[in-house]
Structure 1
């Protein structure tokens, strides 16, 4: 095969005169739209007015994007201090999901308090939406040929390509992982599939457990995503670094797992303000949880 004839997929979704719309933005917003749809649907089942979620996304999405960008810029300051004009160019990539989650959590906490809606219940609903939205959003990285792993095993390009094909990865993905004369691990795909599996565990298993505490779906999401992110991050070549040897995403993942497990254990042991989904359905305890 003549690998030199392979061309990357077009990053541009639509060009309207001076306005350029990238696939990156389309896929991110598609994930947000699906997440909002699922949140509204689940919220109705829980007795929450859809307007709450429309407002949550309307105000929270810009805050999350800013948080994601600030997080990324801070850890890439050596570059952005020299090129400050590039700080606003998020269409070129460069937003960190951990920054978005942190910003979303802080905003969501105060927003729920203001609207007198359970923080724990909202976190559970948001977690289900977040994990599938992230799965879709990672395909934006694919279109940008970013957030990939290292070069796959193989002493020749044919061997590298065969390795990816042996993983039953479609050719259009394999082709787009041919970057600068080598084939790379599609870590975006690994993380996306991990999130899809987590999503189905939530909706097919966890949400059917009557003894599950309100707030523990969010806890599962945090731990599940952190485990997957830790594994995938070790393969990536563009990691934000905490130190020369410690990847920031892996550090945050470990910290998240420890903190979340500690909170879940504390709630279970102290038995303070515990609301199971079984009791929630019976008495709508979310109104005062």
Structure 2
């Protein structure tokens, strides 16, 4: 009687992280980031419309936030992993090759908020209103962006024998191809915890929780949804950073991103406690005597109901200070 052998389950990783179209090299990492930006922008615009804003306002703000965010993300990566680009024998120009991977979310969010603040001021929308509208989309964008790490065969945890272990190849970042062994097969470095997948699923779950439950049911005050985004993301990121086995700079034995996650979690929680009782803001644009706009607090009615008030006025509008 033969003993059946169970198949060895694992999550495969791509052996190709780029492809060429004429003289152009297209990186899947960049495509994942781009897909995340598109989905996040769509959701942010939809949620801003629900708060009385317009798609044009959302896109105007996003056009400022995205390039600032990309620059900020790259700066954070280069600063915290400076040994990869500076020093004897290092390729200084590699610091500019963002398509090869390397974006720090903390720098992206920080400088992205600066860009969003500029765009919000130009469009007459409060930054807190836009940040609340964009928070779930940010989580979706980060979750999609993590699949770029899957294509690059990076961001994994300790070796494991779990059925969902991740197969990792030895990748050549320049060619975008897996290094092949003497027999022509791709070199396999081993099987590891798929921390990229854990983080992607966490972002999806957190976005659903913020969008489908908390924000709709409890309608927290202006800025508090974004504060919850900080809390939710950093709680997961703290755990995933503890699981990762790829090289990173450390402080007192912990990865830099672990420290940053913990500090931002406490900051976000404090912000939420301070902001949750504030009035929930909404963008209601209408002509004022000076040709400007008024941003009003959300009184629970839809933008259409506001516009149906006789004589084009709404006595319940109150300009936010």
TM (norm. structure 1) is 0.82
Shift of the 50–239 alpha-carbon distance from structure 1 to 2, 3 Å rule, reads farther
After the TM superposition, which residues 110-189 of structure 1 pair with which residues of structure 2 at under 5 Å, given as runs?
110-152=118-160, 160=161, 163=162, 165=163, 169=164, 174-176=166-168, 180-189=188-197
- Contact between 2:73 and 2:108, CA under 8 Å: does it hold in 1? yes
Give CA deviations for 1:41-84 in whole Å, capped at 9, x if unaligned: 11212121212222222222121111111111111222311321
Unpaired segments ≥5 residues, structure 1 = 153-159
Shift of the 40–276 alpha-carbon distance from structure 1 to 2, 3 Å rule, reads closer
**Aligned equivalent of 1:156:** none
Give CA deviations for 1:118-149 in whole Å, capped at 9, x if unaligned: 22111111111100111111000011011111
**Aligned equivalent of 1:24:** 29
- Which of the two has greater strand per residue? 2
Cα offset, 1:2, TM superposition: 10
Query: Greater shift after overlay, 185-194 or 200-209?
Result: 200-209
User: What is the distance in 2 between the residues matched to 1:108 and 1:237?
Assistant: 34
The structure 1 residue matched to 2:279, chosen from 263, 275, 282, is 275
SS at match of 2:20: strand
- Which of the two has greater helix per residue? 1
Higher Rg of the two aligned structures = 2
User: What is the distance in 2 between the residues matched to 1:73 and 1:196?
Assistant: 27
User: What is the distance in 2 between the residues matched to 1:142 and 1:286?
Assistant: 49
User: What is the distance in 2 between the residues matched to 1:114 and 1:51?
Assistant: 12
User: What is the distance in 1 between the residues matched to 2:127 and 2:109?
Assistant: 15
SS at match of 2:26: strand
Cα offset, 1:30, TM superposition: 0.6
User: What is the distance in 2 between the residues matched to 1:260 and 1:38?
Assistant: 22
Give CA deviations for 1:139-180 in whole Å, capped at 9, x if unaligned: 00011011111211xxxxxxx2xx1x2xxx4xxx84457974
Cα offset, 1:243, TM superposition: 2.1
After the TM superposition, which residues 192-207 of structure 1 pair with which residues of structure 2 at under 5 Å, given as runs?
192-207=200-215
Unpaired segments ≥5 residues, structure 2 = 1-6, 171-186, 283-296, 304-316
User: What is the distance in 2 between the residues matched to 1:103 and 1:287?
Assistant: 28
Shift of the 2–206 alpha-carbon distance from structure 1 to 2, 3 Å rule, reads closer
Q: When the two structures are aligned, how many residues end up with a matched partner?
A: 266
Shift of the 15–204 alpha-carbon distance from structure 1 to 2, 3 Å rule, reads same
After the TM superposition, which residues 35-50 of structure 1 pair with which residues of structure 2 at under 5 Å, given as runs?
35-50=40-55
User: What is the distance in 2 between the residues matched to 1:7 and 1:71?
Assistant: 27
Shift of the 59–151 alpha-carbon distance from structure 1 to 2, 3 Å rule, reads same
User: What is the distance in 2 between the residues matched to 1:141 and 1:182?
Assistant: 16
User: What is the distance in 2 between the residues matched to 1:96 and 1:15?
Assistant: 26
Shift of the 122–277 alpha-carbon distance from structure 1 to 2, 3 Å rule, reads closer
SS at match of 1:182: strand
Is 2:93 aligned against 1:75?
Answer: no
User: What is the distance in 2 between the residues matched to 1:46 and 1:94?
Assistant: 34
Cα offset, 1:17, TM superposition: 2.0
